């Protein structure tokens, strides 16, 4: 089958590169900068340090390059989803499969609205990837989670191709509870972006953990008010996350080590967006909690303040503001009754 990977950032490069290295027919679609960086091939490194190489990466810069493909992996930022969907509607065959490998909850519904006839699979990438030039390095372990493909031939073939590329793929009849859990976890992306701290530092800093615990606890309360029950996180109730974040650092170190591998280089994609002076996805993460709170008559002042702080950093266009844990805590509560 022919697969188009649209949006060759960290996730698109990692998954697309693994597919290419396995011999799959993949067209990468990204910015001219990416085309130039991958002219000599790509290197894909896993969390354990093992590398695979794809020396013949075909990188296009226009969506028209997806014409005639059997499947598309959507890896662009959430704000670009509608534009990409409209472009694909004109070129992607009506029997194609489409998988959203994006943050947030609105991407799959947006794709379905603009791509009638195609089989759209919601997805969750449960790990972090750092990209540097032609290197795509996975910094955490975890599966690639997809909606079950059913009997759609191209959707089934896409899942098979991902598995054949050595990716750990799980399929689910209902992915919504896991999407909410991933959203709760991703609320720390903004803390990473505003602080500039790597993920491991966030986990081992009592001050940053206090911020994360408060933001996530607020979001969990909003979900409860809305009657939404998120899935467990790696077998553990996500409601315990704020409690774990408030524990002493030695306990947190033991708990997180048992749950996941975290590379010292791991940082959030939102940090990378601020670093590269690009718009972030904060409206689709913390902003999702704020909108849900408004809908059900709950309150989410901390998440609303996070959104405002990230937008201020975007407007400043000076990179991550490098807020200390104390400064971030103070900023979050400065305008909170």
Q: Which of 102-111, 126-135, 162-171 has the lowest mean pLDDT?
A: 126-135
**Confidence at 337, pLDDT banded by 50, 70, 90:** very low
Question: pTM for the complete prediction?
Answer: 0.92
Residue 310 and residue 283: Cα distance in Å, rounded?
9
From the list 226, 126, 241, 216, the residue with the least C-alpha distance to 178 is: 126
SS3 track for the chain: CEEEEECCCHHHHHHHHHHHHCCCEEEEECCHHHHHHCCCCEEEECCCCCEEEECCCEEECCHHHHCCCCEEEECCCHHHHHHHHHHHHCCCCCCCEEEECCCCCCHHHHHHHHCCCCEEEEEEECCCEEEECCEEEECECCCEEEECCCCCHHHHHHHHHHHHCCCCEEEECCCHHHHHHHHHHHCHHHHHHHHCCCHHHHHHCHHHHHHHHHHHHHHHHHHHHCCCCCCCECCECHHHHHHHHCCCHHHHHHHHHHHCCECCCCCCHHHHHHHCCCCCCHHHCHHHHHHHHHHHCCCCHHHHHHHHHHHHHHHHCCCCCCCCHHHHHHHHHHCCC
CATH architecture classification, 2-173: 3-Layer(aba) Sandwich (3.40)
Q: What is the pLDDT of residue 208?
A: 96
CATH topology of domain 178-334: 1.10.1040
What average pLDDT does the structure give for the chain?
A: 93
**Confidence at 255, pLDDT banded by 50, 70, 90:** confident
Structural domain spans, the chain: 2-173, 178-334
Q: Is the pLDDT of residue 210 over 50?
A: yes
Q: What is the pLDDT of residue 258?
A: 56
Q: What is the pLDDT of residue 261?
A: 59
Share above pLDDT 90 across residues of the chain, in percent, rounded to a whole number: 82
Q: What is the pLDDT of residue 75?
A: 97
Give the pLDDT mean for 181-195: 95
**Confidence at 200, pLDDT banded by 50, 70, 90:** confident
Q: What is the pLDDT of residue 198?
A: 86
């Amino acid at each position: 089958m022919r697969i188009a990977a649209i949006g060759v950032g960290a996730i698109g490069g990692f998954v697309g590169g693994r597919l290419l290295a396995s011999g799959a027919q993949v067209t990468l679609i990204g910015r001219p900068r990416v085309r130039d960086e991958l002219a000599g091939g790509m290197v894909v490194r896993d969390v354990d340090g093992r590398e695979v190489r794809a020396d013949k990466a075909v990188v296009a810069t226009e969506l028209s390059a997806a014409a005639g493909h059997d499947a598309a992996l959507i890896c662009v930022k959430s704000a670009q989803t509608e534009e990409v969907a409209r472009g694909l509607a004109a070129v992607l065959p009506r029997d194609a499969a489409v998988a959203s490998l994006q943050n947030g909850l609105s991407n799959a519904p947006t794709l379905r609205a603009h791509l009638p006839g195609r089989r759209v699979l919601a997805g969750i990438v449960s790990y972090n990837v750092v990209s540097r030039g032609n290197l795509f390095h996975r910094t955490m372990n975890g599966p690639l989670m997809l909606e079950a493909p059913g009997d759609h031939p191209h959707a089934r073939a896409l899942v098979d191709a991902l598995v054949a590329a050595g990716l750990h793929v799980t399929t689910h009849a209902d992915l919504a509870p896991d999407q909410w859990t991933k959203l709760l976890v991703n609320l720390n992306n903004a803390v990473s972006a505003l602080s500039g701290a790597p993920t491991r530092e966030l986990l081992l800093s009592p001050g940053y953990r206090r911020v994360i615990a408060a933001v996530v606890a607020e979001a969990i309360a909003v979900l409860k008010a809305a009657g939404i029950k998120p899935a467990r996180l790696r077998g553990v109730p996500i409601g315990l996350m704020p409690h774990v974040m408030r524990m002493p650092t030695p306990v947190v170190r033991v708990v997180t080590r048992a749950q996941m591998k975290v590379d010292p280089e791991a940082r959030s994609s939102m940090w990378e967006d601020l670093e590269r002076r690009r718009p972030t996805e904060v409206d689709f993460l913390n902003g999702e909690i704020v909108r849900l709170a408004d809908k059900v008559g709950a309150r989410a002042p901390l998440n609303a303040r996070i959104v405002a702080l990230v937008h201020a950093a975007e407007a400043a266009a000076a990179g991550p503001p490098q807020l200390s844990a104390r400064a971030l805590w103070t900023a979050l509560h400065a305008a909170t009754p």
